[in-house]
Chains A and B, each alone.
Chain A
Amino acid sequence: MSGAIRMTYREACRQAIREAVLADPRVFLMGEDVGRYGGCYAVTKGLSAELGEDRILDTPLSESAFVGAGIGAAMAGMRPIVEVMTCNFSLLALDQILNNAATIPHMSGGQFAVPIVLRMATGAGRQLAAQHSHSLEGWFAHIPGLRILAPATVADARFMLAPALADPNPVLIFEHVMLYNMEGEIPAGLAGVDIAHAAVRRPGRDVTLVTYGGSLFKTLAAAEALAAEGIEAEVIDLRVLRPLDTAAIMASVARTRRVVIVDEGWRSGSLSAEIAMRIVEEAFFELDAPIRRVCSREVPIPYAAHLEQAALPQPEAIAAAARGLVRPA
């Protein structure tokens, strides 16, 4: 396509931050090693030198204090972007995220909004073992008051930040670690995206594959394999994990009548469970087959490559689950 721009997911994140800081004096970024070091995943490389240390703030290893400071600054008129190095570390700031950011607008009777954006890396695949590899976005999607985003494409990585900053509510953006090096195209003329709707990434008539984030490309690979067998899978990229775009899911289910949910989170008490239950509640009689799920195995993500990969959703398992619904043995 002429005019399309090719870049990595990392570069898309970087451009989004740069643009946001330049566009609004109330916007600043803070987090561990976001400045001089350039970001743990090199997302913010060069930004401190270009934009200044008063707009790109290096913090000590004090997740609770700097996330809480972001919340306070948001309540007092700023539009902070706070980077938490990985969602595994966000647990050190969970008090601030849940008890303050998600709670204060309601608890104050609407006197204060908390327009903060929290970015964090999520997911496995880099052999970082159990304390750096979990997918906790489903936990945060449990919490009223938060908007949870999972950009899977380069275009979403590039354009979700601006509407997230414009949102008067706290927004958490989960960036899957395996996507940073991925290259993709931003279509010519695309200047923005919404943060309300799911997207159909591949249309199909036989089965719906619902997924998001790092699992999108595994799911698309599974759909390609299924196509070779004559099964046309529709792939839904949720994009927004809270509030869920249930209308998009139900519309697809009504077309295909079969669903597989693919989620790198654990299965028990999960986002995949929530999606399945909503389908049961809202579209039970549209279904021609039971709902299937492909999730991470219920283990702490291990270090060794073969064990790590065995713990994660894979295209073969996704295809097998879909095949089992369309052509039961």
Chain B
Amino acid sequence: MTAKVHLGRPEGLALLRDMLRIRRFEEACVALYQAEKIRGFLHLYDGEEAVSVGVMRALGPEDGIAATYREHGQAIARGIPMRPLMAEMLGKQEGCCRGRGGSMHIFDRATRFYGGNAIVGGGLPLALGVALADRMQGRKGVTACFFGEGAVDEGEFHETMNLASLWRLPVLFVCENNRYSMGTALERAEAETAIFRKAEGYRVSAEAVDGMDVVSVAVAARRAVERIRETGAPHFLECLTYRFRAHSMFDAQLYRNKEEVVAWRERDPIRRLRAWLEQAGYLHPDDMTRMEAEVDAEVADAIAFAEAGTLEPVENLERFVTMDEVPS
């Protein structure tokens, strides 16, 4: 844990709670998947919680988010309520996208969440546009653009880095480097494995942080967002992280050994923060029990809401293919 950080009890507990909310929400999703109530792809964020929780703490309501297809954690950390999220997972019309998007396509206008995007790299140009629109309309927003390290292999990454730098757009690029693009290890795909160096090649200020340490991420993100607000120029944050579970529910994980997973689990961001808070005297013995009970209740409520949800009538299948007006 970064010694220089002055992390108080309320902030520490808030970070812990958000990571726990993501973890427990996804554990419930796995159970619902096994019960065949969630289908399709389900990409879990298990192990990577510190990244979005740390970054989102640095953002305000005026800021925008472009997310990935592994975006449950990004959505929860951003503050999208669990009820419409879980209803979306179950394909109900009470879901945030009325059951049209599912796990990989969470959108939320209220929190400026511009979508989970399942074309790797596809959300990066969108983030440019959101940032450009904010600047053109005189808004002070910063757009946080999440993507995995696999996205840097796409041409869209390089086009986006160049344009963001050339036009000095207020974008915080957050690379969730979990070391595998699906089953292909970093060193089997990258000539330069220090991803942030690629951003530097476009004259974007860039750094790598320990993505298993929520405080490190939060500190780096806060500093970056302050600088972006001040200068208008983009910044690149590479978060070194790891997903504890398979790429999706269809992945037998033949490409990595169990010892590696076990070693990374030792660095579990939730366990790590909890230990630090306990050591610092910020986490009292009954805090954790109470927090777990509250989070479990929130998840249970979301599941009950989703289960009680209704199916969009098939007559509405084509609704929103074209819009009658621009929502405001």
Interface residues of A (CB under 8 A from B): 26, 28, 54, 59-60, 62, 64-78, 80, 95-96, 99-100, 104-113, 115, 144-145, 147, 168-169
Contact = CB atoms under 8 A, between A and B. Distances in A.
Given A72-B126, A144-B321, A60 B163 contact: yes
Interface stretch (B4-12, B154-162, B218-226, B295-303): B154-162
A118 B134 CA distance: 21
Nearest to B101: A107
B119 A99 contact: yes
A171 to B, nearest CB: 11
Contacts of A105: 320-323
B129 A71 contact: yes
Interface in B287-328: 319-327
Contacts of A77: 133, 137
B280 interface: no
Contact of B321 (A59, A65, A106): A106
Interface stretch (B27-35, B91-99, B251-259, B268-276): B91-99
A78 B130 CA distance: 9
B109 A112 contact: yes
Contacts of A73: 129-130, 132-133, 136
Closest 5 CB pairs of A and B: A72-B129, A68-B125, A65-B159, A109-B98, A76-B133
Contact of B100 (A66, A71, A96, A109): A109
A181 B162 CA distance: 35
B75 to A, nearest CB: 13
8 contacts: A65-B160, A72-B126, A72-B130, A78-B129, A107-B97, A108-B105, A113-B323, A168-B323
B108 interface: yes
A76 B101 contact: no
B125 A71 contact: yes
Contacts of A100: 117, 119, 122, 126
Interface string B112-141: 001101010010111111111110110000
B159 to A, nearest CB: 3
Contacts of A144: 321
Contacts of B159: 60, 62, 64-66
A107 B319 CA distance: 10
Interface in B125-180: 125-134, 136-137, 155-156, 159-160, 162-163, 166
Contacts of A115: 326
B95 A109 contact: yes
A78 B137 contact: yes
Given A60-B166, A68-B129, A72-B114, A113 B108 contact: no
B107 interface: yes
A108 B105 CA distance: 7
B321 A145 contact: yes
B125 A110 contact: no
Contacts of B325: 113, 168
Contacts of B95: 109
B211 interface: no
Interface residues of B, number: 47
Contact of B163 (A28, A54, A66, A111): A66
A105 B109 CA distance: 12
A107 B321 CA distance: 9
Interface in B33-86: 64, 66
B327 A112 contact: yes
B320 A75 contact: no
B298 to A, nearest CB: 23
Contacts of B323: 105, 110, 113, 168-169
A118 B129 CA distance: 15
Contact of B122 (A80, A96, A108, A110): A96
B327 A111 contact: yes
Contacts of A104: 107, 115
Contact of A67 (B96, B115, B125): B125
A74 B125 CA distance: 12
Contact of A145 (B99, B100, B322): B322
Given A95-B122, A110-B319, A68 B128 contact: yes
Given A62-B159, A70-B129, A78-B129, 14 more contacts: A62-B163, A65-B160, A67-B125, A68-B128, A69-B126, A69-B132, A74-B133, A76-B129, A77-B133, A78-B133, A95-B122, A111-B107, A111-B109, A168-B324
Kindly name the residue among B117, B131, B136, B322 whose own CB sees the greatest number of chain A CB atoms within 10 A.
Answer: B322
Contacts of A113: 323, 325-327
Nearest to B131: A72
Contact of A107 (B105, B131, B134, B324): B105
Kindly name the residue among A54, A96, A104, A147 whose own CB sees the greatest number of chain B CB atoms within 10 A.
Answer: A104
Given A54-B136, A73-B133, A115-B326, A109 B122 contact: no
Nearest to B108: A111
B319 A75 contact: no
Contacts of B128: 65, 68-69, 72
Contacts of A145: 321-322
Contacts of A111: 96-97, 107-109, 327
B162 to A, nearest CB: 6
B21 to A, nearest CB: 23
A111 B320 CA distance: 9
Kindly name the residue among A26, A74, A110 whose own CB sees the greatest number of chain B CB atoms within 10 A.
Answer: A110
Kindly name the residue among B101, B160, B323 whose own CB sees the greatest number of chain A CB atoms within 10 A.
Answer: B323
A110 B320 contact: yes
Kindly name the residue among B125, B132, B325 whose own CB sees the greatest number of chain A CB atoms within 10 A.
Answer: B125
B97 A69 contact: no
Given A76-B130, A78-B137, A100-B122, A65 B319 contact: no
